[in-house]
Chain A
């Protein structure tokens, strides 16, 4: 079955240290992959997306993600965390052949001063 797994429900890092949010998906031909962020009491905002162009995708607010087909992963990273990064992050996989949109369960990112 097609699926997406966010391996950590909660990640806590200190301000100024790197961020890694993990996402794995079930293998399929040419998935499209997205990361969205949701701040408290707000709607979702697109951070970045991969749609079969460059495997390293740069997004807003200093985030980037690398598509690794061999590992079926699309992990989200940021070199230096900022307090304003505290939010919920969702990895989303779209299987165009089946028009299926699947959200991960989310990772809550906390930033320690």
Chain B
């Protein structure tokens, strides 16, 4: 059973460009979580999604950031008009989705975004 997959592993963008980060959950998992880890800091929760639904986006910046988890295909975290402060590691996690937030989450290897 393949684990959570994220691609690309490394992404370089110039200021003002768009960044698209992809996350394929573990087989059978219907819940996806996105986290951001800034340099020298811990993980910060961003958004929690089910298939076609956003459950909790309280950690998402109000502008430029969006996330989706379509019925088919991976979850996408999209950052428009990137700025240097967006440089970070972005981790995705998935869980089976029993409906409880306390499900164990399985993490992907992360995408390291560098904004020049």
Contact = CB atoms under 8 A, between A and B. Distances in A.
Interface of A: 6, 32, 34, 36, 42-46, 49, 51, 90, 94-96, 99-106
Given A44-B91, A101-B101, A103-B35, A36 B45 contact: no
Interface residue tally of chain B, by bracket?
20 to 34
5 contacts: A51-B102, A99-B101, A100-B101, A103-B43, A105-B41
A44 B107 contact: yes
Contacts of B113: none
Contacts of A49: 104
B33 interface: yes
Given A42-B109, A43-B4, A44-B91, A103 B44 contact: yes
Contacts of B106: 46
Contact of A101 (B41, B48, B110): B48
Interface of B: 4, 6, 33, 35, 41-45, 48, 55-56, 91, 93, 100-102, 104-110
B78 to A, nearest CB: 21
Nearest to A101: B45
A35 B102 CA distance: 13
Q: Which 5 A-B pairs have the closest CB atoms?
A: A32-B102, A44-B107, A105-B42, A43-B109, A99-B101
Contacts of B6: 43
Contacts of A104: 42
B48 A90 contact: no
A95 B55 CA distance: 15
A103 B45 contact: yes
